[in-house]
Amino acid sequence: MKNYLTLIAGLLVATGFAACSQQAPEEAVSSAPEESAEAFIARVNEELKALRIDQGAAGWVRATYITEDTAILNAAASERYAEWHSRTVAEAAKYDGQKLGADTRRGIDLLKLGTSLPAPNDAAKRRELMQIATELKGMYGAGKYCRSDGDCISGTELEGLMTELRDYDELLELWEGWRTIAPPMRAMYERYVELANEGANDLGYANLGEMWRAGFDMSPTEFQAEAGRLWEQVEPLYDELHCHVRAKLGEVYGEDKVPQDQPIPAHLLGNMWAQGWGFIYDLIEPYPGVAEIDVDTTLKTKNYSPQEMVRSAESFYTSLGMPRMPDTFWERSMFSKPADREVVCHASAWGLDGGNDLRIKMCIKQTYDELRVIYHELGHNYYQGAYKDQPPLFQGGANSGFHEAIGDTITLSMTPGYLAEVGLIASAEQNEQAIINRQMQQALDKIAFLPFGKLIDEWRWAVFSGEIAPADYNKSWWDLRTKYQGIAAPVERSEADFDPGAKYHVPANVSYTRYFLAHILQFQFQRALCETAGHEGDLHACSIYGSKAAGERLTAMLEAGASDPWPDTLEKLTGTREMDATAIIDYFKPLMGYLQEQNEGRSCGW
C-alpha cells in the first residue's frame, strides 16, 4: 500500500525547508497587516509551488541513497517543516470568524491539516517530538529478533517466514520474537502522545485523534460514526469468512489449538499482524487446483523486464484514454534494486514538482503480486498527474481513502478475461468452482483486512483522547483485535509488552483509516465504472479495460483533487454522495453463498 499522506507531508516538509532556505525567517513570517485571506492563501500556494522541487529531490535521494547524510537532511527538514507549519497556521488564525469564499476557507482548513504530526509551538518541545519520532521509526526499521544462539532475523525476513511456515510452534516463536522490539518504545510513545496532543491543541483541536478525523468534511464525531456504519455493512461477510477459516485451521492444527468457539490464534494466518490472510490460501482453497491463474510463469517464460511490467500497467490506463507516462518517468524512476547502495524497496509513487515529475520507486520482481502492485502505484501517479493544475493546497486526494482506492480499483479489473486478452495467461475459462477459488483468494486479502484497517486508528483515537490510559495500552489493543477481528494473542500478553509498536504505522505515525476507506471505495468505484462501461452480468467479472467512457468519468474525478468536499468529488464518479460498502456484498455474492453453505451447522462467532 502506498503511504500517500506521508508522502504529501514529506512534500509539504520540503516547502518549509525551501522557504527557510530562500528567505530570512522574519521575511517568511511577516505579512502586511492589510493582507486579505485570499492574498494569504495565494501567497502560501505560490511558496509551495515554487519551493517543492528542492524537497522532492531531497526526499527522493533519501529513499534511493540511504546514508547518514541523507538521514540528517531528512530529520532537519522535518523539524523545519514543523516550525514552518506552526508559524503559518498561526498566521491563518487571524482569518477565523471571517466570512470567506469557499475556496479560501477550504485552503485555510487544508493548511491546518497539512501535517499528521503537529508539533508544539515551543521550540524545545518541537525538537523533542521530532527526535522521538525519528527514533521510533529507527527502532522499528532496525528491529531484529535474536535467538539465544546469536542468530538475528530482520523484520522483513520474519514477515517472509510467517508466510511460508506451517508449524504451530515455529510460527509462535517468530510471532513472539518480533514483538520483543516494541517494549522499549512504550515510554517514548507515551511522551510522543503528550507532545503531539499539545501540537494539536495549538492548532485548535482537542487531541491528535480529533485532528485526524477532522479531515473528512464532517465533524470528528460524525466521521467516527461513518466508519462504524461502513463496517456494519461488511461485517456479515467477514463473520462468514472468519467462521470458515477457523474451521479449516482447526482441521490443520487440531481443535485443541484452534477451538471452534474462540478467537483464532493470531500467529496462524500467514501474516505477522493477521491483517491479511492470503498466504494461507493453500490451506483454505475451496477446489484444489481448479483454474489457477499462473501469471508468474508467463512473466518468467517471456522474461518480462521491470520496465515491460510497468508498460503493461501503463497500457491499461492508456486504454481508458489517459496519457502515457512522460519520458522523465522512465528516466528517473527506480524499477530495480541498485547493486551499489542501500535503498528503500517498499513500493511508492511520487508526484514531484506538483505532479509534473512523476516517478515510482520499486525493486520489481517477476511475480503477479509485484505486477498488481505496479498497477496500484500507477494509480497514484495518474491521480497526481490529473490534479497537477490545481493550486498546491488542493493537490491531494478528495479524502485520504481516495488515493489508495484508485489503483486498487484498477486491479479489480485484472480479471481472467483481461489477463488472457493481454497475453498474461493462456485461457480465461472460468467455471463456478474457479470463480469461488478466485473470490476466496481476494477475500482472504481484502475482506480479512477490513476490521484490522478500522481498529488501528480506533485504538489511537482512544489513546490520543485519554480514553485509553498508558497503563492499558496493550490490554486495549487486544480487546479491539478480538472485538473486530475475532483473533487473540496465542500467548499471554501484559502491560510489560507494547504490541502496537510492532506494527510499522504506529511508531511511524501513519494514519490507517485511509486503507480501511480504500478497501470500501475501490468496490464502489468499480461498480460505478462498470455501469459506465456498459458491463452486463456479475460485478466480479467486469473489467473496464478499453472503456473510454469509464476513463473519462474517472478522470473527471481525479482532476478535482482536494478542491471540493469529498462527497462532491465522489458524486462525479458514482452519482452518489455517500460512501457505500454494499458494492462489496455485490462483488462477493458467489463467495458469500459458498461460505454460508460451508458454515451450516458450525458454531460461528467468538
> What spatial distance separates the first Cα and last Cα of the chain, rounded to whole Å?
30
- pLDDT above 70: percentage of residues in the chain: 94
Q: Residue 73 is placed in which grid cell?
A: 537532511
In a domain, 75, yes or no: yes
Which residue's C-alpha cell is 508526484? 351
Taking CA atoms, 318 is separated from 289, 423, 559, 561, in Å, by 34, 17, 16, 20
- Mean pLDDT, range 70-89, rounded to an integer: 78
Residues above pLDDT 90, as percent of the chain: 74
pLDDT reading at 316 higher than 60:
yes
In a domain, 156, yes or no: no
Residue 49 confidence (pLDDT): 78
Residue numbers annotated as active site: 346-347, 376-377, 380, 404, 505, 515
Confidence of residue 103 (pLDDT cuts 50, 70, 90): very high
CA distance 478 to 408: 29
What pLDDT was estimated at residue 23?
33
Would you say residue 513 has pLDDT above 60? yes
Place of cell 511460508: 164
- Kindly report, residue by residue over 198-218, the tens digit of the pLDDT: 999 998 899 999 999 999 999
Single residue among 73, 91, 115 that ends a domain in this structure:
115
Residue 64 included in any domain: yes
3-class secondary structure, 554: helix
Last residue of a domain, one of 68, 86, 115: 115
Q: Beta strand 487-488 with 264-265: parallel, antiparallel or unpaired?
A: parallel
Q: Please say if the pLDDT value at position 52 is more than 60.
A: yes
User: Would you list the DSSP string of 359-421?
Assistant: EEE----SSHHHHHHHHHHHHHHHHHHHTTTS-GGG-S-SSHHHHHHHHHHHHHT--HHHHHH
H or E stretch at 358: strand 357-361
Q: Which domain holds residue 379?
A: 295-438+514-587
- Position 569 scores a pLDDT of 96
Answer yes or no: is 603 within a domain. no
Q: Is the pLDDT of residue 539 over 70?
A: yes
Asked whether 267 and 175 are in contact (CB, 8 A), the reply is yes
Q: pLDDT (tens digit, 9 = 90+) per residue, 236-262?
A: 999 999 999 999 999 999 999 999 999
Q: What is the 3-state secondary structure (H, E, C) of 529-544?
A: HHHHCCCCCCHHHCCC
189 or 289: which carries more pLDDT confidence? 189
Query: Contact, 299 vs 308, CB < 8 A?
Result: no
| pLDDT value of position 21 | 32
Phi, psi of 113 (to 5 degrees): -95, 20
Tell me which of 294 and 239 has the higher pLDDT. Answer: 239
| Predicted confidence (pLDDT) at residue 522 exceeds the cutoff of 80 | yes
Position with higher pLDDT, 108 vs 156: 108
Q: Say which residue, 427 or 562, is predicted with more confidence.
A: 562
pLDDT digits (tens, 9 = 90+) for 401-413: 999 999 999 999 9
DSSP of 282-348:
HHH-SSTTTT---HHHHHHHTT--HHHHHHHHHHHHHHTTPPPPPHHHHHH-B-S--SSS----S-E
State yes or no: pLDDT of 66 exceeds 60. Answer: yes
* 192 part of a folded domain: no
For residue 292, count other CB atoms closer than 10 A to its CB.
Answer: 12
Q: How far is CA 403 from the centre of its chain?
A: 9
pLDDT at residue number 495: 98
Give the pLDDT mean for 184-202.
96
Residue 498 lies in a domain: no
- For residues 226, 232, 238, 240, the Cα torsion angle rounded to the nearest 10 degrees is -170
20-35: average pLDDT: 44
Which of 115, 139, 172 is the C-terminal boundary of a domain?
A: 115
Return d(Cα 367, Cα 295) in angstroms, integer. 7
Distance CA 423, CA 441 (A): 22
pLDDT tens readout for residues 117-130: 998 989 899 889 98
More confident residue, 285 or 59: 285
Q: Are 314 and 360 in contact (CB under 8 A)?
A: no
Give the SS3 label for residue 447.
helix
Residue 112 makes CB contacts below 8 A (sequence gap 6+) with 89, 92, 203, 204
Confidence band for 57, pLDDT divided at 50, 70 and 90: confident
Residue 51's pLDDT is what?
Answer: 58
Domain annotation covers residue 253: no
- Give pLDDT, residue 12: 38
Query: What tens digit of pLDDT does each residue of 461-494 get?
Result: 999 999 999 999 999 999 999 999 999 999 999 9
Q: Is residue 303 part of a domain?
A: yes
Give the count of domains, the chain: 2
Average pLDDT over residues 42-68: 80
